[in-house]
Amino acid sequence: MTHNTSLHGAAHHNQVVIFLGPPGAGKGTQAERLAAEHGLTKISTGDILRDHVARGTELGQQVAPILESGKLVPDDLLIALIRDQLSKMETVRVIFDGFPRTTAQAQELEMLLEQLGAPISAVPLLEVPDDVLIARIVERGKSSGRNDDNEQVARHRQEVYRQQTQPLIDYYAARGHLKPINGVGSMDEVYQRLQQVIG
C-alpha cells in the first residue's frame, strides 16, 4: 500500500468524522455545511441507498422494501458501499452521516479505516429530546414527500435507533472519540457547537 502524504499539504490530511444522532436531529443539514466548509465528502448511506432505489439498480431493488418498512440494511451491503466510496479517494476526508449504526458496523469501519491509514478524528453526537424529533420528522414528511416520514415509522425508527445505537455511543465514548453536543437551538447555534469539536 502506498502513502501519498508527501504529495499533500497539511490542509489535505486524512480526516474522518462520524456523526451520530437520532433520526430527525438535523444531522444531514449540519453534515452538508461541515463538509462544504472543511473540505470533507459527506457519506450518507441513506442517500446512497435511495439513489440506488431511484435508479432501480439490483441493490436498489434489494433494499427498497427494507427502507420502506423502516428496518436496517444488512452490514455487509453497507460496508461494501463504503469501501467502494473510500477506495476512490486519494486523501480520505469524510463525514459519515447515519453510519455506523451498530458496534458491529463500527468495528468493520474501523478495520477498513485502518487499512486506509485514516483514523477517526471525532465522533460528535447530536442530542435532541424525542418529542422534538418526532415533530420535526412529521413536519419534514409534509414538505419532502418521503413516504417513510410519518409518525408511526418515525417512532419505530427512534426505538430501533435507541436499541441499536446506545452500544455504539458507549463504544466511541470508551475510545475517547465521543463529543456530545446539544442539538436544540437554531441551525447556526448547533453548527457553532459542532465547529468547536471538529476543529
pLDDT tens for residues 111-168? 999 988 999 999 999 999 888 888 888 888 888 777 777 888 888 888 888 887 889 9
Cα–Cα distance measured from residue 66 to residue 33, given in angstroms and rounded to the nearest whole number:
29
Does 117 fall in a domain? yes
Q: How many domains does the chain have?
A: 1
- Domain extent, residue 127, equals 22-194
Is 103 annotated as a binding-site member? no
Strand partners for 93: 15
Residue 185 belongs to domain with CATH number: 3.40.50.300
Does 132 fall in a domain? yes
Does 100 fall in a domain? yes
Is 96 annotated as a binding-site member? no
Distances (CA, A) of 89 to 41, 82, 92: 10, 11, 6
CA–centroid distance for 155 within its chain? 19
Active site residue 157: yes
Is 146 annotated as a binding-site member? yes
The residue annotated as part of the active site, out of 42, 93, 157, 193, is: 157
Does 17 fall in a domain? no
pTM for this model (two decimals):
0.75
Angle CA 76–79–80, to nearest 5: 85
Query: What pLDDT score does 126 carry?
Result: 92
The pLDDT confidence band at residue 83, using thresholds 50, 70 and 90, is confident
Q: What is the mean pLDDT of residues 157-186?
A: 90
List the one residue out of 110, 101, 108, 97 whose CA is nearest residue 194: 97
Is 88 annotated as a binding-site member? no
Active site residue 33: no
Cα–Cα distance measured from residue 173 to residue 167, given in angstroms and rounded to the nearest whole number:
10
Average pLDDT of the chain, as a whole number? 85
Question: pLDDT tens for residues 90-106?
Answer: 899 999 987 887 888 89
Active site residue 155: no
Residues of the chain above pLDDT 70, percent: 93
